[in-house]
Structure 1
Amino acid sequence: MSDPRVGLTVTHRRYVPYAHAHYCGSLVDGAYTLGLFGDVATELAIRADGDEGLLAGYSAVSFLAPVQAGDVLEASCEVVRVGRRSRELRCWAEVVARADPARGPSAARVLDPPLRVVEATATLVVPAADADITNG
């Protein structure tokens, strides 16, 4: 029988502020999106296991397109495998709206379809279900 946590998906949406642009063209470093995956994985662990868990690492990360200041970025993680203390996650991020300065200083547009910018496979670790975390 399949674990009911498999398929559980959590999504966060965040505006990427200009303060996070580090490169020409208002580009944002890849670590910004990986940080979002950490936040999403934390909520996913709380929902799946009642504990914040720890995003232990990535076995694969693909940066597919640039993230820019002024983007509205949607980051998602889905449980694809459940072990005794580990969860394998499929993570992805998409730009759902983007600044459009050619039309004006505050202009922006919704991207339809969204632009996939990062994909990753991550491992989340949670305490053993039988551990009594209140006694150390």
Structure 2
Amino acid sequence: MLTEGFSVTQRRYVPYSHAHYGGNLVDGAYGLGMFGDVATEMMIRTDGDEGLFAGYSNVEFLAPIQAGDVIEATGTIVRVGNRSREIEFEARVVCRAAPERGPSAADVLDPAVTVTRARGTVVVPSNQSRM
């Protein structure tokens, strides 16, 4: 159903192979990649097509992403045009590794830590019928 307020959420474990910097830090683009996947699922559900990401109008990197994190990314449609869909995104760390307690120790974060926020536009083909 195509409507403002429609949301999609995905979760992903951040493997240690993605760490690029000291302290097991992961580049900020990791969250943006998740936003692209969320937008793709959203367009499939709302328009029956993966759509194409046109661009971001705003991106905020608020806290670091680390290897061993479990990230939750949510996208919510905030504007519907004829072919465009404007989406607000937020990525949060919901679990984080705790290596000081052991090599496989981790904690559930309550509250989750918001790491990235963005607003972007996705475009779908004009010949797609809305569901």
TM-score normalised over the length of structure 1: 0.91
- Counting aligned pairs with the same residue, the percent is 65
Match of 1:108 among 100, 106, 109: 106
Report the equivalent of 1:17: 15
Structure 2 CA distance for aligned equivalents of residues 80 and 107 of structure 1: 38
Count how many residue pairs are aligned between Structure 1 and Structure 2: 129
Consecutive unaligned residues in structure 2, runs of 5 or more = none
Report the equivalent of 1:95: 93
- The secondary structure found in structure 2 opposite 1:58 is strand
Match of 2:76 among 65, 75, 78: 78
1:4, distance to aligned residue in structure 2 (A): 5.0
Structure 2 CA distance for aligned equivalents of residues 7 and 50 of structure 1: 18
- Aligned structure 1 segments of 4 or more residues deviating by more than 2 angstroms: none
Structure 2 CA distance for aligned equivalents of residues 66 and 6 of structure 1: 30
Q: Does 1:42 align with 2:36?
A: no
Report the equivalent of 2:61: 63
1:56, distance to aligned residue in structure 2 (A): 1.2
Answer with 1 or 2: which has the greater Rg: 1
TM-score normalised over the length of structure 2: 0.95
Structure 2 CA distance for aligned equivalents of residues 5 and 35 of structure 1: 24
Report the equivalent of 1:51: 49
Q: CA RMSD in A?
A: 1.5
- The secondary structure found in structure 1 opposite 2:78 is strand
